[in-house]
Structure 1
Amino acid sequence: MSLNIPDDEIKRRAIQEIFEETKRASIRADIGGSLGWAKPNHRGFNKRFLNNTVVSVVSNNCRLDKIKPLEKSTVEEKPLQPLPFRNKEEKKFTGKIKVSNKSRFQAYLGARKREKEKEERERVERAEREEEEERKAEKEVVTGKN
């Protein structure tokens, strides 16, 4: 499977690509100075770090300014009917849900463990099915010869 592209066409495409790359580098250099000629080496950003940083900064600023952060707007809140409790004690709800980094990490580890266990079960089941198919094939060969 060889491509029949003439050498002149390959050279023309290579020169065109070099010119386009030089043009992009020139624009980067105009904006960012002489270091703009170097290709950027980043491949995106760390979304988890950014999210945690923004949440932390907003929380800290709200604490320093002694204001509450904006809450998510809800669509027409309906009054909830009380659910029967199994215990006679009434549970008190403070309105805050505390999620620490430790609990996030524990949830992540739990999810990862469940995923690995599921993969292991699937692998064992697949191996058992293959063994069963091999037994059936051997049985058919044995019964076919008799």
Structure 2
Amino acid sequence: MKINRSGSAVWTGGLKDGKGAISTQSGALSAYPYGFAARFEGQPGSNPEELIAAAHASCFTMALSLILGEAGLTAEKMETNAVVTLEQQDGGFAVTASRLTLKATIPGADDATFQELAGKAKANCPISKLLKAEISLEAELLN
């Protein structure tokens, strides 16, 4: 099975004075603004790193839901936050890390099993596989 999903970006102008718009196939984003100021100066708008973070958090959480089900467990609630790090390096910038933080309530789960399954989801979710950055995970079981 092969599934293709798309996102697009439109850009006009130079790096610092230019403006962009991001759209997704689903319509979740439709010509949503992004630009230099949003990426580097904390101004309103989106940026590639937060989109990667949202993708990683959502993919990891769905993967963990699958893995929990395979282990006979069902989460009551899982909240995942991802922080993607963009660093200036010799010759430009690089995304160097994605830090996942998970808080979950999973009836019947013990911490050792939870940590094992969360680690498996971190290693095997499609976005983790896509990223070539260090991926870390902090998982806290709330029972």
Quick check: TM above 0.5?
no
Return the index of the structure with the highest Cα Rg. Answer: 1
Higher relative contact order (CA 8 A, sep 6+): 2
TM-score by length of 1: 0.23
Q: Which has the higher helix share?
A: 1
What TM-score, normalized to structure 2?
0.24
More strand by share: 2
